[in-house]
Amino acid sequence: DIQMTQSPSSLSASVGDRVTITCRASQSISTYLNWYQQKPGKAPKLLIYAASSLQSGVPSRFSGSGSGTDFTLTISSLQPEDFAAYYCQQTYSILGMFGQGTKVEIK
């Protein structure tokens, strides 16, 4: 199975900060990498697919990059509604494993 490792597991940031979350795959997955946002008590929401494509309706302050084994989700200017958990997911293999998540908290 392909394992996905996110870092950090949590971070504290202020409104307006630039935030970067990384995701590493245990083997090359090309650009078969998606990012989801989840707020407490809610279902996950797709932000980024194919490593860098922004899902329709998602603010442009969210961006994704990377290929192979190393990927990054960047929030260019953190907004109050962005405090949430973020998960990466690989879909290179049939078993679409998720990373363990990164919780973005208010500083």
Partner 1 sequence: EVQLVETGGGLIQPGGSLRLSCAASGFTVSSNYMTWVRQAPGKGLEWVSVIYSGGSTYYADAVKGRFTISRDNSKNTLYLQMNSLRAEDTAVYYCARGLVGATPFLDYWGQGTLVTVSS
Q: Does 84 bind partner 1 (CB under 8 A)?
A: no
Q: Judged by CB under 8 A, which of 15, 100, 105, 106 binds partner 1?
A: 100
CB of 23 to partner 1, least distance (A): 13
- One of 14, 16, 43, 81 touching partner 1 (CB under 8 A): 43
Please give, one letter per residue, the 3-state secondary structure of the chain: CCCEEEECCEEEECCCCCEEEEEEECCCCCCCEEEEEECCCCCCEEEEECCCEECCCCCCCEEEEEECCEEEEEECCCCHHHCCEEEEEECCCCCCCECCCEEEEEC
Residues that bind partner 1 (CB under 8 A): 1, 30-34, 36, 38, 42-46, 49-51, 53, 55, 85, 87, 89, 91-92, 94-101
